[in-house]
Amino acid sequence: MNVEITRLSNGLTIATEHMPKLESAALGIWVKTGARDETGGEHGIAHLLEHMAFKGTAQRSARRIAEEIEDVGGELNASTSVETTAYYARVMRDDVPLALDILSDIILDSQYDEGELEREKHVILQELGAAEDTPDDIVFDHFQAAAYTGQIIGRPILGTRQSIASFSREDIRGYLNRNYTPDRIVVSAAGAVSHAEVVARIEAAFGSLPAAQVAAAATTGDLASYTGGDFREERDLADAQIVLGFEGRPYYARDFYASQVLSIILGGGMSSRLFQEIRESRGLCYAVSAFHWSFADSGIFGIHAATGEEELAELAPVIVDELMRAAEGITEKEVNRARAQMRSSLLMSQESPASRAAQVARQLMFNGAPIENGELLDRLAAISADRLADLAGRTFLGSRPTLAAIGPVGRLPTIDALTDRLRGDAPAGGRLASSR
């Protein structure tokens, strides 16, 4: 790893990693702010701002932004998450200055034209409609909302039809000025890049921004509090989408990497426990996987499955039983396989400049510094089978479950019945009560 880091006097961080023999570069501006930094009346504004950044500056129209980057064969895009917003480009070596100029321009000088704003609101409303018509996507929004009941962190990133329609350009500027402060910005580049050149151009563009006041830079939302919960929506669909989850670990927790390993063992591939038992041995679903989402102060461990109505009543108890078996013991063979998967994923991602730039940016935002490969591999090596079994017990038996389901879900057991089974209170060999 050869990451060079420069911090400007106003708090903005610049990181680059030169990757020899590459002729292209990936670069972007990452901001440590996202949907959870919205106020109660700003639901969806972080995502709307990300869209509006491409709709014209004082120097460039929306069309010119698109044409300039595509004239050189480059790509430009952005994304909004719960805690971050990213604007990124992929270009050839000689076009790095152009990409930096465009990215700086759309962050610093977007005009938020009223006509463009109304058109983009319509686009997002279409996006909302598309999401609602995609059960295997929208079920995760309902899952997070149930896990963090009544909290901003649990709200869907896209917002609602009512909130999107209400926003003005002044609302967007208010969110921008409050959250896009230099101490929250990381410029990261990897590939055919020169650190000195990137620093010079970013300092010229952003160096005059005043350092943020502590009060202005504070996160809008309160600390996340996992609650657990239950959401079900009966729909006339061919299959049911269900997500069962538990309280996970934040980025900074000791068990962060262990939770990632545990998710691989349970549902990270075709050799995983859930895939082998539920799909291969029993044929109860066509898709099953496990995941672990981390935030700055909380996390969720979840299992997603898609199955038919007739299989649903049997599927949920089998998932619960597999989680309980994980708490009873994990084998060294499983740990070694999961380590190999994580190691390969880590090293393969570093062959991609886009993946590398994003990885360094995230590590700087949430860890304060890039994490060396050796340190990551040492952390993985320290994770034992006994520790994973203990983590499984604390995770699956130590918090109230969260359940979200969409489709023909009438046969799905109640969350109380699933909780009783996890606690060992279900009748031996008995069928769990369904919600029907």
DSSP 115-142: HHHHHHHHHHHHHHHHHHT-HHHHHHHH
Q: Report residue 257 as tokens.
A: 């990497």
64 has a pLDDT exceeding 90: yes
pLDDT in tens, 77-119: 999 999 999 999 999 999 999 999 999 999 999 999 999 999 9
What contacts 247, CB < 8 A, 6 or more positions away? Answer: 147, 226, 228, 298, 299, 300, 301, 395, 398, 399
* The Cα angle at residue 380 between residues 14 and 148, in degrees rounded to 5: 70
pLDDT in tens, 290-327: 999 999 999 999 999 999 999 999 999 999 999 999 99
Whether 50 contacts 85, CB under 8 Å: yes
Q: 412: helix, coil or strand?
A: coil
Q: Which domains does the chain have, with CATH numbers?
A: 3-210 (3.30.830.10), 229-422 (3.30.830.10)
State the pLDDT at residue 84.
98
Global pTM value: 0.92
State the pLDDT at residue 221.
54
pLDDT in tens, 111-156: 999 999 999 999 999 999 999 999 999 999 999 999 999 999 999 9
More confident residue, 160 or 398: 160
End-to-end CA distance of the chain: 56
Whether 291 contacts 304, CB under 8 Å: yes
pLDDT in tens, 19-58: 999 999 999 999 999 999 999 999 999 999 999 999 999 9
User: Max alpha carbon distance in the chain (Å)?
Assistant: 71
H-assigned helices in 223-306: 256-267, 273-274
More confident residue, 198 or 218: 198
State the pLDDT at residue 187.
98
- Backbone phi, then psi, for 202, in 5-degree steps? -70, -35
State the pLDDT at residue 424.
79
434 has a pLDDT exceeding 60: no
d(C-alpha 227, C-alpha 149), whole Å: 6
**Phi/psi zone of residue 52: left (φ > 0), alpha (ψ -120 to 50 degrees), beta?**
alpha
Q: Report residue 415 as tokens.
A: 């969350």
- The question of whether 50 is a catalytic residue gets the answer yes
Q: Report residue 137 as tokens.
A: 């996507």
Q: Could you tell me the pLDDT band of residue 427, with boundaries at 50, 70 and 90?
A: very low
DSSP code of 407? Answer: E
Q: Of the listed 17, 38, 42, 50, which one is catalytic?
A: 50
Q: 71: helix, coil or strand?
A: helix
Q: Which helix H or strand E contains 174, and what residues bound it?
A: helix 169-179
d(C-alpha 246, C-alpha 394), whole Å: 10
Burial class (CB in 10 A: 0-12, 13-18, 19+), 355: middle
State the pLDDT at residue 134.
95
193 has a pLDDT exceeding 90: yes
433 has a pLDDT exceeding 50: no
Query: What does each C-alpha distance from 134 to 15, 28, 403 come to in angstroms?
Result: 38, 30, 18
Q: Could you tell me the pLDDT band of residue 423, with boundaries at 50, 70 and 90?
A: confident
428 has a pLDDT exceeding 60: no
pLDDT in tens, 363-388: 999 999 998 888 999 999 999 999 99
d(C-alpha 53, C-alpha 105), whole Å: 9
Return the number of other C-beta atoms located less than 10 Å from residue 126's C-beta: 10
Q: Could you tell me the pLDDT band of residue 425, with boundaries at 50, 70 and 90?
A: low
State mean pLDDT over 410-417: 93
State the pLDDT at residue 1.
63
State mean pLDDT over 392-415: 95
pLDDT averaged over the chain?
Answer: 93
